[in-house]
Amino acid sequence: MTYYSLNRQAPDATFEEAVVKGLAPDKGLYFPASVTPFTNDFLNTLENLSDHDIAIQTIKQFVLPDIPEKALEEIISDTLDFDFPIVKLNENISTLELFHGPTMAFKDVGARFMARCLGYFNKHNEHEVTVLVATSGDTGGAVANGFLGVKGVHVVILYPSGKVSNIQEKQLTTHQQNITALEVDGVFDDCQDMVKQAFLDEELTSQLQLTSANSINVARWLPQMFYFIFAYKRLKSHHKQISFSIPSGNFGNICAGMMLQKLGLPIHHFIASNNANNVVAQYLHSEIYSPKASVQTISNAMDVGNPSNFIRIQEIYGNDFQNLKHHLSSFSYSDTMTKSAMRELYDVYNYVADPHGAVGYLGAKDYLKINPDTHCVFLETAHPTKFLDVVEDVIDIKLELPEQIKSVIDKEKSSIPISHYAELKSFLLSCS
């Protein structure tokens, strides 16, 4: 597999080059040069295959020959050592729980897969790779956990001060070793802008091998395909069209599902469920894409005003607005509506959802109003205890902390405060 830059001003890259560089030299996102659709035999016999076998068949065309199949099998086995259960709420709505990994967020899969790919590439490499990542909450913890102790990799996480939950902050600031947390005086977009500026800084890139662990990196983005094909395997016997409602921030997760659709998985429709950061919802209404400053909400992982992966989504659908609109709907919800959905899920279904899952539930409900014959799966992307104050206040119960949360809750936070890009640059240069 080779990858081309969506800015189309850079040479094609191998999988290894795309992973190690993160962004192409022209600062475009990498995209697969070609894809081979699934065979009908594979799709028709999914229910007879293990999740590990499905994952290998799904991802291998994107990584071979840079990672041989035997090594890939080991990476998959190490990455997917937890479950992805589906909980049926009624005849038309289910939720896919993606929070059973070590940091209790859907990003565990992509972070662990990418860390193990970099570890494989660095086995015989004496040069350190610096992984830069901006987080609005869950990415930071997943990356910190996934990359902890990986040879030849130094991880630098930028997060917005006071705008992630207490547990999210503990998960990304308590690891030490090869992990450094930079606490930014600003919002997520400021963190993301600093990371992008670092990749454009020739003084930095001439001295450091920089890559990104955000979903702009193909090794973080593509493994997220696994969620959707695992869910399809479990639901295909229902003989209903299957749609997915995805709480969307940087749009990497929904973009991975769309790549699966391109490979031939018969997903009926996608719903991008947004909070008040609704750039894509407005675009689908007006055909005008207008990024804007992000606003803070209780579903903080979605507080993104300029989603990086949307350009990949446009590429998947041939940069054809009508084609995209045929496959994608988007709705936007306020914090008040999100809280009402959390209460409804608990009162009606005895289901405790985090704020992001609640937004996904609202998107599923709205889509089903006009498409009642489909089965809609909303993604529950983080464990509700990661947003303890909000969830306990809304549904008025005391939640028991799972072991993954107990293991970090009392650890001491360690972070370096910064306000401007110059401080990030100075720190990175001091590490070179």
Examine residue 65 and say whether the peptide bond preceding it is cis (omega within 30 degrees of 0).
Answer: yes
Q: pLDDT at residue 410 above 90?
A: no
Percent of the chain with pLDDT over 90: 77
Q: CATH code for 83-105+221-400?
A: 3.40.50.1100
Q: What is the pLDDT of residues 175-233, one digit of tens each?
A: 878 999 999 999 988 998 999 899 889 899 899 989 888 888 999 999 999 999 999 99
The two most distant CA atoms of the chain are separated, in Å, by: 58
Neighbour count for residue 292 (Cβ, 10 Å): 12
The pLDDT value given to residue 238? 80
Residue spans per domain, the chain: 83-105+221-400
CA dihedral 141, 146, 148, 152 (to 10 degrees): -130
* Mean pLDDT over each residue of the chain, to the nearest integer: 93
What pTM did the predictor assign?
0.91
Q: pLDDT at residue 42 above 80?
A: yes
Q: What is the pLDDT of residues 86-141, one digit of tens each?
A: 999 999 999 999 999 999 999 999 999 999 999 899 887 777 889 999 988 778 88
Q: What is the pLDDT of residues 235-262, one digit of tens each?
A: 988 878 999 999 998 899 999 999 999 9
Kindly give the pairing relationship between strand 328-332 and strand 267-274. Answer: parallel
Q: pLDDT at residue 40 above 90?
A: yes
Q: pLDDT at residue 312 above 80?
A: yes
The pLDDT value given to residue 17? 94
